[in-house]
Structure 1
Amino acid sequence: MKLLPFVDVKPEGAVKAAVVWLHGLGDSGDGFAPIVPELRLPKGHGVRFVFPHAPVRPITINNGYQMRGWYDIKTWDLNDRADETGVRESAAAVTQLIDTLIGQGIPAEKILLAGFSQGGVIALHLLPRLPYKIAGVMALSTYMAVPQKLNEEKTATNQRTPVLVNHGTHDEVVPYSAGQAAFQALKHAGFAVQWAEYRMGHSVCPQQIGELSRFIQQQLVQAD
């Protein structure tokens, strides 16, 4: 499998940790890269940010138009929105990228996985299935693919890994209820999940960015 291309934002000085941040449908790794300075991480944080580009593929709900997407969306029905084959293929590709970072000397427990919308679907899919413990997961404005398979496929590896689920109360793309359903599914499955909501649509907001920064620092910087 060819390694996913990505935007690489390296810190000044030594790299001690990494955030792998997955974009949403139709976006690219360039879309979220500008958030790094907005996080206002302390000097010498040592966190490398990796923003991979999803493959270009036809998206059924957009009349087959080719765009970057982690999987196809064939229907707006949330119970059948995520193409399971595509989700699993992208999850494998992101795992390969994480494996590469580990091979470059970043410990798995110093790698945090973040995802917005479609990217969040992949992050939440990987959380219970990764073969090694990671530092945390940030799932933003997203939902869960194949929730009915969560309990049968989960392992205990990341059972205590901190998970932050965020959603906008006015999300016009992924309903608030879908974010809540993902949160509840993880909670009932025994994962260390926490919820935060913001008065916004399908986006991120300044207050949220401050909270994301605190979460990243807690898991990757202050843990040193």
Structure 2
Amino acid sequence: MPLPTVEHETRPSPTWSVIWLHGLGADGNDFAPIVPELVDTAWPGVRFVFPHAPVRPITVNNGVPMRAWYDIKGLAIADKQDAPGIRASIGEVEALIAREVERGVPPSRIVLAGFSQGGAMALAAGLRHRESLAGILVLSAYLPLHDTIEAERSGANHATPIFWGHGSADPIVPMVLGEQSRQALEALGHRIDWHTYPMGHQVSMPEIADIRAWLSERFAEA
């Protein structure tokens, strides 16, 4: 059964879906308020799906349980990666995609989005998905399981557009980590629409405006 979600439909019988994954310790309500600020009235009907990650103990937070897509085991977030947790969450994202397909939205009209740990999961799941997605939206994140991505990525999403936004003063996911991840994917031939903003680990209004423009391009391509 897919994870519980918060959902917003911009109009009845939406023909597109955006599955938006939250960051560590948040839940599906975290980004739901962004919908009114983000949506363009010219867009087709869109279903925004904000899932709640499972609750699990987080090592760097003294084992305190919280919603998370995978465990964080070291102070440097890309170290000691929780590969089993990441792979389990890839399966959860696959189930969410499958439910949208069952509801009549093909993968080619599904955007995977996420912030921080959720952005890492959008990359991990989206690049491995076996059918072409409309796009991958990555905010203040990095590429997990980078050592296996070349072998495990799907050719179906080799040319999938990727929006990547990052704060230049991010203390949680340093921008240099985002840049290294971007460069690794570009070296494999992936197309990255890279944006930086004078901010920390957050989302800003200029970034929302850029996301709106990027999503408008995706919706116009179908």
**Normalised by the size of structure 2, how large is the TM-score?**
0.96
Cα distance change of structure 1 residues 183 and 44 upon mapping to structure 2, 3 Å threshold: closer
8 Å contact 1:27–1:68 — kept in the other structure? Answer: yes
Query: Cα offset for 1:210?
Result: 0.4
Q: What per-residue deviation string (whole Å, max 9, x for no partner) do you get for residues 159-191 of structure 1?
A: 111001111000010101111011111111111
Alpha-carbon distance between aligned partners in 1 of 2:184 and 2:123, rounded to the nearest angstrom: 11
- The CA distance in 2 between the partners of 1:108 and 1:79, in whole Å, is 29
Runs ≥4 residues deviating over 2 A: none
Deviation at 1:55, TM superposition (A): 0.4
Report the CA distance shift for 1:152/1:44 in structure 2 as closer, same or farther (over 3 A): closer
Q: 1:217 matched to which residue of 2? A: 216
1:62 deviation in Å?
A: 0.3
CA RMSD of aligned residues (A): 1.2
**1:156 and 2:155 correspond:** yes
Match of 2:32 in 1: 33
Aligned residue type for 1:223: E
State the partner residue of 2:205. 206
**Structure 2 portions without partners, runs of 5+:** none
1:136 and 2:135 matched: yes
Aligned to 2:184: 185
Write out aligned runs for 1:3-22 (5 A).
3-22=2-21
* Equivalent residue number for residue 64 of structure 1: 63
Contact in 1 for aligned 2:43/2:216 (Cα 8 Å): no
> What displacement does 1:42 show?
1.4
Cα 1:98–1:38 shift into 2, 3 Å = same
- Worse-superposed segment, 120-129 or 28-37: 120-129
| Aligned CA distance change for structure 1 residues 177 and 81 (closer, same or farther; 3 Å) | farther
CA distance in 2, matches of 1:14, 1:223: 19
What's the CA shift for 1:13? Answer: 2.8
Letter of the aligned partner of 1:85 in structure 2? P
Q: How does 1:54-203 map to 2 (within 5 A)?
A: 54-203=53-202
- Check conservation: 1:13, 1:44, Cα contact below 8 A: no
Query: What letter corresponds to residue 53 of structure 1 in structure 2?
Result: H
| Contact 1:22–1:120 (CA under 8 A) maintained in structure 2 | yes
The question of whether the paired residues in 2 share the 8 Å contact of 1:12 and 1:44 is answered with: no
SS in 2 for 1:132: coil
CA 1:79 to 1:22, structure 2 compared with 1: closer, same or farther past 3 Å?
A: closer
- SS of 1:204 mapped into structure 2: coil
Note if contact 1:18-1:111 (Cα within 8 Å) is conserved in structure 2.
yes
Separation in structure 2 between the aligned mates of residue 35 and residue 58 of structure 1, nearest angstrom: 28
Counterpart amino acid of residue 163 in structure 2: L
Q: In the comparison of the two structures, how many residue pairs are matched? A: 222
| Amino acid in the other structure paired with 2:199 | M
Query: Alpha-carbon deviation of 1:104?
Result: 1.0
Which residue type is aligned with residue 98 of structure 1? Answer: I
The percent identity for this pair of structures is 41
Give the deviation of 1:81 after TM superposition.
4.7
The gaps in structure 1 that reach 5 residues or longer are none
Q: Which amino acid aligns with 1:141?
A: S
